[in-house]
């Protein structure tokens, strides 16, 4: 599956042209004093791709981050910027069959977590938002405090100050008062807390179904429809 996504469609949108010719008269002939009809070709500019930052921390649930990158790549019109923490790489190797290098290959651009000069660290670098998936309690606390000691917390800080979408897929249970206070404060600052709560109404056949549904709902928050999961449409009669 990884191979298919790495070598799939590029998602490039080609410009379209529209042609406008003189209107014919009632006899079906052009009346322009014997002047040959002219054709105007208008080129429609290519629509720029959306740009999403994906950050993966060391919290359990590394597959959520990987599936998010796969879903964004499948959409074909999203430019992804990936940041992984040191412990994210360790968790990926422990919890999944992926290697960190395989995960990096799923993104258009990757940035070292220590590179505070990366483009995503500046508000002048235009993006459509950021998702931290999964988001550790340490990263949540850093974002709440504005303690930008690495590229993940700095980029999240940029999202908040620039009023851009910031989604934090927090992973912890049970939650202490400190965790809850941090979530409340970042929500007041403009972030969205989106824990990966399983939707059992889809009657999942396996864990992957639950992950796909969670990822789809997370990307809904950016106005992106993966079309890869079942949505609630009311009670179904047997």
Domain range summary for the chain, segments of one domain joined by + = 52-220
Q: Is 58 known to sit in a ligand binding site?
A: yes
pLDDT at 22 over 90: no
Q: How does the average pLDDT of the chain come out, rounded?
A: 86
How confident is the model at residue 38, as a pLDDT? 56
pLDDT at 177 over 90: yes
Q: Is 181 known to sit in a ligand binding site?
A: no
pLDDT at 15 over 90: no
Q: Is 217 known to sit in a ligand binding site?
A: yes
Tokens of 30: 């052009």
pLDDT at 188 over 80: yes
Provide the pLDDT confidence category of residue 31 given band limits of 50, 70 and 90.
very low
Query: Cis before residue 92, ω within 30 degrees of 0?
Result: no
How confident is the model at residue 229, as a pLDDT? 85
How confident is the model at residue 40, as a pLDDT? 57
Q: Is 138 known to sit in a ligand binding site?
A: yes
pLDDT at 225 over 90: yes
pLDDT > 90: percent of the chain: 74
Q: What is the pLDDT of residues 94-150, one digit of tens each?
A: 999 999 999 999 999 999 999 999 999 999 999 999 999 999 999 999 999 999 999
pLDDT at 2 over 80: no
Q: Is 80 known to sit in a ligand binding site?
A: no
Q: Is 51 known to sit in a ligand binding site?
A: no
How confident is the model at residue 49, as a pLDDT? 85
Q: Is 137 known to sit in a ligand binding site?
A: yes
Q: Is 86 known to sit in a ligand binding site?
A: no
Q: Is 201 known to sit in a ligand binding site?
A: yes
Domain topology for 52-220:
Rossmann fold (3.40.50)
Query: Cis before residue 139, ω within 30 degrees of 0?
Result: no
Q: Is 55 known to sit in a ligand binding site?
A: no
Q: Higher pLDDT residue, 45 or 148? A: 148
Q: Which residues contact 79 (CB under 8 A, 6 or more apart)?
A: 49, 50, 51, 52, 108, 109
Question: Whole-angstrom Cα distance, residue 25 to residue 203?
Answer: 63
Q: Is 139 known to sit in a ligand binding site?
A: yes
């Amino acid at each position: 599956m990884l191979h298919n996504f790495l070598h799939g469609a590029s998602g490039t949108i080609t410009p379209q042209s529209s042609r406008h010719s003189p209107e014919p008269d009632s006899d079906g002939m052009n009346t322009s004093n014997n002047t040959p009809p002219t054709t105007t070709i208008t080129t429609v500019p290519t629509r720029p791709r959306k740009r999403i930052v994906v950050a993966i921390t060391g919290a359990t649930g590394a597959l959520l981050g990987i599936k998010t990158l796969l879903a964004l790549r499948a959409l074909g019109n999203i430019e992804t910027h990936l940041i992984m923490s040191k412990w994210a790489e360790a968790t990926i190797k422990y919890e999944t069959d992926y290697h960190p290098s395989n995960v990096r290959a799923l993104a258009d651009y990757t940035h070292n977590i220590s590179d505070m000069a990366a483009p995503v660290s500046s508000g002048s670098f235009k993006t459509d938002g950021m998702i931290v998936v999964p988001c550790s309690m340490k990263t949540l606390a850093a974002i709440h405090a504005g303690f930008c000691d690495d590229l993940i917390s700095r980029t999240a800080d940029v999202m908040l100050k620039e009023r851009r979408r910031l989604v934090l897929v927090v992973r912890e249970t049970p939650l202490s008062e400190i965790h809850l206070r941090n979530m409340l404060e970042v929500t007041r600052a403009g972030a969205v807390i989106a824990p990966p709560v399983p939707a059992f109404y889809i009657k999942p056949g396996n864990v992957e179904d639950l992950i796909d549904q969670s990822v789809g709902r997370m990307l809904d928050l950016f106005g992106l429809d993966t079309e890869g999961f079942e949505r609630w449409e009311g009670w179904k009669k047997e």
